[in-house]
């Protein structure tokens, strides 16, 4: 056994508390004056600060909004946003109360502010979200029902405040079992995007809750969100994004928490996630359509977040054909999630996942692996496979303490694209099985403390150049 670094030892001490609970990291009260700490990442990333807005306030009540959750206020929201945009921007105030509405379309220099006690409840009538708008859905560019909150080609936009966004989307969830796969065929055959039009009950694709396309300088802060039709927060082709002190509490099908999709310069901090799918998941397009667009997700920092439920705390893929690079997660806690880190792809997807760092993480009662890197993932086993293998490389995991998991680490590469250049250092894990790896090379393990109850600590198949504390590991 090796001595542990002080910070990791302290985290393990917390894990051993008689209560058996991890330290709580619930978001503090919304405080717009709170400074955003500098970003110290192992790659070059610009400093991110909140966008500035003119000192104007427009109350939705002044444009005819009625509380109570019975009258649709779609027109009132639109009128308030338009009036403020024409004046040069500012804050759209949603006061305390329940406000029913259809889609909200943001404009540049607009801060949609949810006051204490405000609940924005969205209509469950699908036709309210027409006409179709441009989005990327499942990694394919197309036109579909509007997201519940939508913006395109905007700058300096925000959703802030301690209120709540309620997607009210149970009616959409029934579509999961019959959603069309037509969009994937459209992407594979390079059908012009303007001809990929959905937005009918027959051509069923559920929209995201928040969809922000080609936007920059985005702030999402302080609110609670849940009950969306599909992915919850979905920025697409956007940059300079701050998501902080947001509580994502949702359990519908495919209810990922946050999906930066071909985005750059993203800061996620002090958020909590309890989701029906992945918590934070980085995307960059699906197969041929993703490679056609060719825009990576890059420069992402996730810090001081906690996840209570979800398929993975930090996930990359499987739609990653445009590549993902420069990602740093640190000082996070996970309880009851399936995994801490999950990077997933499949043969034919293409793309490169590289320069990923995970550091100073505690986890408890995981349902699957602590860390999994796998290239054999597929949500559609009948999907065609072309000649574009994915690449995973330069992934570094350190100072992780985890108690209770079926598997510590699982690595599954491809024979023609082994997962390579991976380091694990200063980790203490209690699990049923240890490290299971196949089709990989250049795996480095340093100061790894494994307590397992089944099988050998290391199960290696077709792995080259693996070492434990500088001693070779054999297959």
Three-class secondary structure assignment of 172-215: HHHHHHHCCCHHHHHHHCCCCHHHCECCCCCCCCCCCCEEEECC
Residue 372 resides in a domain? yes
Residue 421 resides in a domain? yes
**369 in Cβ contact with 395 (< 8 Å):** no
Tokens of 259: 């999906």
Residue 297 resides in a domain? yes
What is the Cα–Cα distance from 434 to 473, expressed in whole angstroms?
14
Which pLDDT value is given to residue 304?
98
What is the Cα–Cα distance from 385 to 391, expressed in whole angstroms?
15
Q: Note down the domain range covering 320.
A: 1-33+278-475
How many domains are contained in the chain? 1
What is the Cα–Cα distance from 43 to 298, expressed in whole angstroms?
10
**209 in Cβ contact with 149 (< 8 Å):** yes
Which pLDDT value is given to residue 384?
58
Tokens of 376: 């054999």
Summary mean pLDDT of the chain: 93
pLDDT in tens, 332-363: 999 999 999 999 999 999 999 999 999 999 99
Residue 330 resides in a domain? yes
Task: Extract the residue ranges of the chain whose pLDDT is less than 70.
Answer: 1-28, 379-386
Residue 442 resides in a domain? yes
What is the Cα–Cα distance from 445 to 452, expressed in whole angstroms?
16
Percentage of the chain lying above the pLDDT 90 cut: 86
Which pLDDT value is given to residue 178?
79
Name the one residue in this structure whose structure tokens are 């395109």.
152
Signed CA dihedral, 121, 126, 129, 134: sign only? positive
Q: What are the catalytic residues?
A: 277, 311
What is the Cα–Cα distance from 393 to 440, expressed in whole angstroms?
10
Name the one residue in this structure whose structure tokens are 């949810």.
114
**108 in Cβ contact with 86 (< 8 Å):** no
Widest distance between CA atoms in the chain: 72
Residue 47 has φ and ψ, to the nearest 5°, of -70, 135
Residue 127 has φ and ψ, to the nearest 5°, of -65, -15
What is the Cα–Cα distance from 96 to 117, expressed in whole angstroms?
4
Which pLDDT value is given to residue 107?
99
What is the Cα–Cα distance from 184 to 389, expressed in whole angstroms?
18
Residue 339 resides in a domain? yes
- Name residues whose C-beta falls within 8 Å of residue 150's C-beta, 6 or more positions apart in sequence: 103, 104, 105, 106, 133, 210, 211, 212, 213
Signed CA dihedral, 171, 172, 176, 177: sign only? positive
| Number of residues that this document lists for the chain | 475
What is the Cα–Cα distance from 121 to 111, expressed in whole angstroms?
18
Beta strands in 133-182, from DSSP E residues, in sequence order? 133-137, 140-144, 149-152, 155-160, 164-166
What is the Cα–Cα distance from 107 to 91, expressed in whole angstroms?
11
Residue from 155, 157, 140 nearest 220 by CA: 157
Residue 368 DSSP code: S
Residue 214 falls in which region: left (phi positive, over 0), alpha (psi -120 to 50) or beta: left
Which pLDDT value is given to residue 24?
41
Which pLDDT value is given to residue 25?
45
- Name residues whose C-beta falls within 8 Å of residue 382's C-beta, 6 or more positions apart in sequence: none
What is the Cα–Cα distance from 374 to 252, expressed in whole angstroms?
25
Question: What's 361's domain CATH number?
Answer: 2.160.20.10
**227 in Cβ contact with 169 (< 8 Å):** yes
What is the Cα–Cα distance from 475 to 438, expressed in whole angstroms?
9
Residue 243 resides in a domain? no
Element (H, E) at 384: none
Signed CA dihedral, 60, 65, 70, 75: sign only? negative
Q: How many CA atoms lie within 13 A of 416 on its CB side?
A: 8
Residue 31 has φ and ψ, to the nearest 5°, of -140, 95
Residue from 444, 453, 457, 451 nearest 429 by CA: 451
Residue 369 has φ and ψ, to the nearest 5°, of -90, 155
Residue 93 resides in a domain? no
Tokens of 194: 């303007």
């Amino acid at each position: 056994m090796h001595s542990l670094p002080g910070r990791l030892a302290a985290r393990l001490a917390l894990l051993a508390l008689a209560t058996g609970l991890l330290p709580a990291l619930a978001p503090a009260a919304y405080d717009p004056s709170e400074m955003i700490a500098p970003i110290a990442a192992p790659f070059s990333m610009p400093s991110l600060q909140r966008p500035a807005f003119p000192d104007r306030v427009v109350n939705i009540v002044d444009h005819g909004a009625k509380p109570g959750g019975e009258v649709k206020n779609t027109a009132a929201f639109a009128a308030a946003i338009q009036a403020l945009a024409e004046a040069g921007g500012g804050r759209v105030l949603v006061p305390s109360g329940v406000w029913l509405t259809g889609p909200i379309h943001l404009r540049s220099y607009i801060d949609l502010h949810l006051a204490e006690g405000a609940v924005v409840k969205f209509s469950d009538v699908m036709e309210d979200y027409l006409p179709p708008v441009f989005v990327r859905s499942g990694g394919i560019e197309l036109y579909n029902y509007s997201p519940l909150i939508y913006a395109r080609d905007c700058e300096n936009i925000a959703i802030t405040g301690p209120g709540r966004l309620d997607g009210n989307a149970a009616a959409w969830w029934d579509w999961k079992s019959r959603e069309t796969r037509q969009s994937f065929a459209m992407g594979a055959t390079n059908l012009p995007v303007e001809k990929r039009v959905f937005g009918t009950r027959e051509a069923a694709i559920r929209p995201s809750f928040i969809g922000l396309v080609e936007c920059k300088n985005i702030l999402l802060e302080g609110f609670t969100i849940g009950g969306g039709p599909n992915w919850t927060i979905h920025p697409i082709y956007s940059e300079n994004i701050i998501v902080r002190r947001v509580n994502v509490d949702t359990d519908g099908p495919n209810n990922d928490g946050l999906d930066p999709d071909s985005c750059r310069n993203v800061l996620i901090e002090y958020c909590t996630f309890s989701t029906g799918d992945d918590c934070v998941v980085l995307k960059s397009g699906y197969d041929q359509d993703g490679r056609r667009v060719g825009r990576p997700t890059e420069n992402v920092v996730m810090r001081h977040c906690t996840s209570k439920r979800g398929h993975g705390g930090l996930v990359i893929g499987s739609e990653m054909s445009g590549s993902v690079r420069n990602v740093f997660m640190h000082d996070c806690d996970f309880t009851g999630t399936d995994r801490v880190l999950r990077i997933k792809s499949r043969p034919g997807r293409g793309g490169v996942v590289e320069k990923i760092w995970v550091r100073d993480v505690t986890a408890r009662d995981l349902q699957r692996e602590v860390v999994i890197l796998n290239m054999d993932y597929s949500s559609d086993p009948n999907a065609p496979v072309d000649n574009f293998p994915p690449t995973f490389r330069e992934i570094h995991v350190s100072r992780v303490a985890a108690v209770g998991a079926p598997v510590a680490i699982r690595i599954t590469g491809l024979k023609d694209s082994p997962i390579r250049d991976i380091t694990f250092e200063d980790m203490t894990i209690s699990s049923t099985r240890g490290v299971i790896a196949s089709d990989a090379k250049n795996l480095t393990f340093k100061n790894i403390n494994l307590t397992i109850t089944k099988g050998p600590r290391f199960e290696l198949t077709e792995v080259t150049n693996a070492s434990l504390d500088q001693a070779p590991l054999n297959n």
